Structure 1
Amino acid sequence: MKAIAALLLLLATGPLFAQTIDPKEAARDKVTDRTNNAIDRGIDRALDRAEQGLKKLFGKKDKNKEAAQKPAEPAPAVAAGVAGAAAAPAVAAGTAGALKAYSKFDFVAGEQVVAFEDFLQDAVGDFPARWNTNAGGEVVRIDGQPAPWLKLPGRGLVYPEFVQALPENFTMEFDMMISDDLSNNMSGLRVHFPLMAQRTLQFDANFGSEPQVGFDLHPVPVGEGSTSHTWVFGAGQQKLLENTVPLAWKQGVPNRVSIWRQKTRVRLYVNEAKVWDLPRAFEPNLRYSMLLSADLFGGAVFFSNLRIAVGAPDTRNKLISEGRFVTRGILFDVNADRIKPESYGVLKEIAAVLKDNAGVQVQIVGHTDSDGEDARNLELSKRRAEAVKAALAGEFGIAAERLSTDGKGESQPAEPNTTPQGKANNRRVEFIRR
C-alpha cells in the first residue's frame, strides 16, 4: 500500500521538490538547516493522505478510525487549523495547580495599564481599526477562546497606532497561538522594538540594521524544535547581540508572552519560563516603540490580549503606610474567578508583605468593568475576591482569618469604561488595611 501511495505521490507532487530546493529560497535565514525536516514531514503527511485515499478506493474502511481522525467542522468565522482549548468554567477550579507551575515566575506587571487590545471592537474578517500594516491580516475567532485574535499576515508587519514611544520602564504582555501546520522554516512571530522615528511601513523587518531590540518566537506544533531568536542593533547600526535558545511551547492553548523592560535591561518570558534576560539591550536616551512582523513559510500565527503597563508596584509602602494597595496584575479568566497563573508574581509580593507584617489584616475587594449585567458583575467581583483570598491562604500560607473579602462590581470605576484601556484599568483588585 505504501509503495502505491508513494508512486501516486511522485506523479502528483513533483513541483513540491522543485520548490523546496529553489536556491533563492535556500538563501533565506534558517531555511537551509530546516528544509529537510519540513520535506520529511510533508512527505509523511502526503503519504498518509494518499494511503487513506487508496483504502477508500479499494473499499477497506475502518469507520471507527475515520471517526477518530475526522476534524470537527469549524464554526463560521473561526480560524481553522488551531486546536482550541475548552471554554473556561466559571469557577476557580485548577487555580492551585496552575499557580504552583509558576512558582519561579518573577515577572510583575506594571501598576497602570497604558495600552490594551483584545479586538472586541473589530469585526471578524476585518483588519483592526486601531492598527496599521503593510501586508494585511484579519481578526478571527478561534474555537474555544473567548476573545478575538489577530491573524498576522504571512509576510509583513503590523503595529498598534495607539502605542507610540515607550518609556524606559514598562511591561508588555500578550497571548500567542499558532496553527497546527506552522512550518519550522523562516520566522515565527517577531517582536521588534525599533526607534519611534523608524517605526514606519517601510521598516525592514527581515534584514534591517536600524537600532532595535528584537525577538523571534518560533514554536513548532509537535515535538521538540521550538526556538527563540534575539538580536540587538546599536545606535551606530552595529550588531551588539544575536543568539538562539530552545523554547518550551504548549500547543492548542494560548501561550502568555511577558516582556519586562527596566532601563537597559529586558526580560522575556513564555508562560512560566524565563527565555531571555539581557542586561544591556536597550540604549539610554533612545525613544523606542514596538511592532510585530512575520515571514512564514507556512501556517499561521495569532496574537491577542496585548497589555502594556507602567509604574513598578510599591506594594509594601502603599499597603502598610498608606493603607491601600490596588493592582491590575491579578488576572482572571473571562467571566470567571479562576486566577490566571501569570498573576503569581503579584500574589507572591503581596504575600511577602503580609508575612513580614503578621499583625496586619486586610480586606480584599474585587472590581469589574461595565460589560455584562450589573448583578452578575457584582457577584463575579465577590467571587474573584474570594479566589484571591483562597490563593493567599492555600498557596502562600497567609492565615485566612486575616483576610476578609468584598466586591463592588462595576460601581466604582477608576476610569471611564469607554476604551479597552479604561476597562482594563477597572478590572482590578484592591487591598485595604483594616
Structure 2
Amino acid sequence: MKNITNKVAGGILLLAAVSEMSAAQVRINDPGRVVERNAEYRANRKIDQAVDKGFDSLEEGIGNMFKKKDKKAAGKPAESDKPNSNADAGQQPENGGNEAAGASAKTEKPTLKSYSKFDFIPGEKIVAVEDFAQDAVGDFPAKWNTNSSGEVVTIEGTEGKWLMLGPEGVFYPEFVTELPENFTLEFNLATTSEFSFYTGFLRTVIAEVGVPSKEFTKWQWYDGGKKNGVEMGLHPKDAGGSQGLAAFNVFGEDGASIMRNEKSFPAFHVPEHNVVKVSVWRQKARLRLYVDDYKVWDLPRAFDPARKYNFIAFSNHGYHEQANRYFISNLRLAVGAPDTRSKLITEGKFSTTGIHFDVNSATIKPESYGTLKDIATVLTENATVKVNIIGHTDSDGDDAANLALSKKRAEAVRAALSGDFGVDGSRMQTDGKGESEPTTPNTTPEGKAGNRRVEFVKM
C-alpha cells in the first residue's frame, strides 16, 4: 500500500464522547476473567471475520474499511495534505470537512458551554508535536519504531495525516525520552466503522523503561515482562455495541498488575462525530484521562513519584481483519504545571498555548474551556486587575493576514471571557502581533506550536 493515499470516504464511524455520562457503570476486573475474556475474543474471531467479509466484499482498496461509502464521492480528491497557516494540531476545516463526507461530518459543533465540565489544562511548555507532516503517505513514520507494521495515511474530511496502526504490536515515538512529574499528552484517535468487540483495546502506555529502544516490545498485551508503568485502554464498543469501554492497569516493580479497573459508558462510538480527542494529564501521582469533554478516569495514586517515567507507546492486538483499525494523529506533549495566578498577578504576564482556534479562524475551539476558566477565575478573584490580551501566530502564511488573524483571536478571547465567564469587558484590552514576536524559531512543529499563543499582560 506504499505511496497510496488513503481516501477514506464519507459515513465513517469514529470515536466520540458525550458530556453527560451519569449512566456510566464501573466494574473491577477479576484477573481470571481477563484471561477468559481474551480467550473469548479469539474463539469468536472467526465468526466475526465472516461478518466483516460480507461488508468488505462489495468494496475495493484500503478505503473499504469504512462502511456507507458514498459512491459519487469516491472519485473526489481527499483534503489537501498541505498544513494550513497557524492551524492548531488536530484541527479540521471549519465546515467539518469535504461535503462528500456526508454523515461523517459533525451535525452540531460543540461549544464552550457544552464543555463546561472539561477542566483539562495543557502543560506550560510544548516539547513534542507529531502530525506526520514530514512523512510520505504509505510509509511508516521516520521518528517511530514498531515490532508490527503501519503506515501514514490521509482520511477524507479531516486535516493532515494519520498513522494507521498495524496488527498486534507496539508503536513507539522515539522522540519522547523524558517525562517530568507534571505533563500533558494529547492526541486524536479514530477507528474504522466495522469494528469488532472482540478486537482488543488501543492501549496508551506511560512507563519507566531501562533502554526504550530495546525494551519497548515488552508492552505487547500478552507479554509478562511489562513493569513500572501505567496502561490506559480505549475501545469503541462494549459487548452490546452501544457503549465504549475504557480500562487501565498499573504495573509494579515485579510486572504484576497492582491496580486495575474497567469502565463502560454510553455513546462513545456514534456516526455524527469525526474525531475523538484523548487528553492525559499527570500531576505527580495523579492521573486524569479525558475523551473529548468527558473525564474517564481521575486516579489520585496511579503514578509512582519515585519513578523516572521516560516512555510513551501505543499497543494493540487482534487486527487480523482490515475492518478493525485504529488511527492516531496530532500528538502533542507539554510539560510543566501552568501557574496562571502567580505569573499574571505577581510577574505581570501570562502566556498560554492552551487556547485553540479553528483553522485560519478566530473561532475558539471548545477544548479551550479549562484554560479560559482558569484565567477567568484569576481575573474574578483579582477584581482590580486589568489586562491586555495579545494574540500571536507562527510564520506560516502571509504576514498581513497573520497580523489581522492575531488581532481577531485576541478579541475572541476577550469576548469569551466576558460573555461565557462574566469578566467585565472594560477590564480587558486587545491587540495582535501576528508572527512578529516569536518565542522560538518557526523551524520545527514544536516551535510553531509554541508561537501560536495568547498573552495576558497586566496593565
Q: TM-score, normalized by length of structure 1?
A: 0.80
Q: Distance in 2 between matches of 1:272 and 1:279?
A: 20
Q: Does 1:136 align with 2:157?
A: no
Q: Which segments of 5 or more consecutive residues in structure 1 lack a partner in the other structure?
A: 1-25, 51-66, 79-83
User: What pairs up with 1:102-113 in 2 under 5 angstroms?
Assistant: 102-113=115-126
Change (3 A) 1:301 1:316: same
Deviates more, 1:252-261 or 1:218-227: 218-227
May I ask how many residue pairs the two structures share in their alignment?
Answer: 387
251, 255, 258: which one pairs with 1:233? 251
User: What pairs up with 1:221-370 in 2 under 5 angstroms?
Assistant: 224-247=242-265, 248-251=268-271, 252-288=273-309, 289-297=311-319, 298=321, 299-370=324-395
- CA deviation after TM superposition for structure 1 residue 43, in Å: 4.6
- The answer as to whether partners of 2:93 and 2:358 remain within 8 angstroms in 1 is no
- CA deviation after TM superposition for structure 1 residue 86, in Å: 7.2
Question: Who wins on radius of gyration, i.e. which is larger?
Answer: 1
The structure whose RCO (Cα within 8 Å, separation 6+) is larger is 2
Q: Distance in 2 between matches of 1:47 and 1:380?
A: 46
- The answer as to whether partners of 1:77 and 1:140 remain within 8 angstroms in 2 is no
**3-state SS of paired residue (1:167):** coil
Q: Distance in 2 between matches of 1:48 and 1:237?
A: 40
Q: Specify the alignment match of 2:40 in structure 1.
A: 32
Q: Specify the alignment match of 1:401 in structure 2.
A: 426
Change (3 A) 1:235 1:406: same
- CA deviation after TM superposition for structure 1 residue 131, in Å: 1.3
Q: Specify the alignment match of 2:93 in structure 1.
A: 87
Question: Can you list the C-alpha shifts for 1:174-217, whole angstroms capped at 9, x where unaligned?
Answer: 11111112222131321011223153343242123422210111
Q: Which segments of 5 or more consecutive residues in structure 2 lack a partner in the other structure?
A: 1-33, 59-67, 80-89, 97-106
Q: Does 1:146 align with 2:159?
A: yes
Q: TM-score, normalized by length of structure 2?
A: 0.76
Question: Can you list the C-alpha shifts for 1:361-398, whole angstroms capped at 9, x where unaligned?
Answer: 21111111111221221122112112211211111111
Question: Can you list the C-alpha shifts for 1:226-284, whole angstroms capped at 9, x where unaligned?
Answer: 10111111112221112110143454411111111111221111111111112222223
- The answer as to whether partners of 2:208 and 2:307 remain within 8 angstroms in 1 is yes
Change (3 A) 1:308 1:320: same
Change (3 A) 1:346 1:47: closer
Q: Distance in 1 between matches of 2:243 and 2:305?
A: 35
Change (3 A) 1:390 1:48: same
Question: Can you list the C-alpha shifts for 1:95-120, whole angstroms capped at 9, x where unaligned?
Answer: 99521111111111111111111111
Q: Distance in 2 between matches of 1:295 and 1:425?
A: 35
Q: Distance in 2 between matches of 1:196 and 1:406?
A: 46
Q: Specify the alignment match of 2:99 in structure 1.
A: none
Change (3 A) 1:71 1:212: farther
**3-state SS of paired residue (1:290):** strand
Q: Specify the alignment match of 1:188 in structure 2.
A: 201
- The answer as to whether partners of 1:85 and 1:143 remain within 8 angstroms in 2 is no
- CA deviation after TM superposition for structure 1 residue 344, in Å: 0.7
- CA deviation after TM superposition for structure 1 residue 333, in Å: 2.2
- The answer as to whether partners of 1:29 and 1:186 remain within 8 angstroms in 2 is no
User: What pairs up with 1:58-77 in 2 under 5 angstroms?
Assistant: 70=71, 72-73=73-74
**3-state SS of paired residue (1:104):** coil
Change (3 A) 1:85 1:390: closer
Q: Distance in 2 between matches of 1:95 and 1:395?
A: 19
Q: Distance in 1 between matches of 2:166 and 2:175?
A: 20
By percentage of residues, which structure has more helix?
Answer: 1
Question: Can you list the C-alpha shifts for 1:124-163, whole angstroms capped at 9, x where unaligned?
Answer: 1111121111212111111121221111112211111110
Q: Specify the alignment match of 2:23 in structure 1.
A: none
- CA deviation after TM superposition for structure 1 residue 28, in Å: 7.7
Identity %: 49
Deviates more, 1:277-286 or 1:170-179: 277-286
Q: Distance in 2 between matches of 1:173 and 1:381?
A: 24
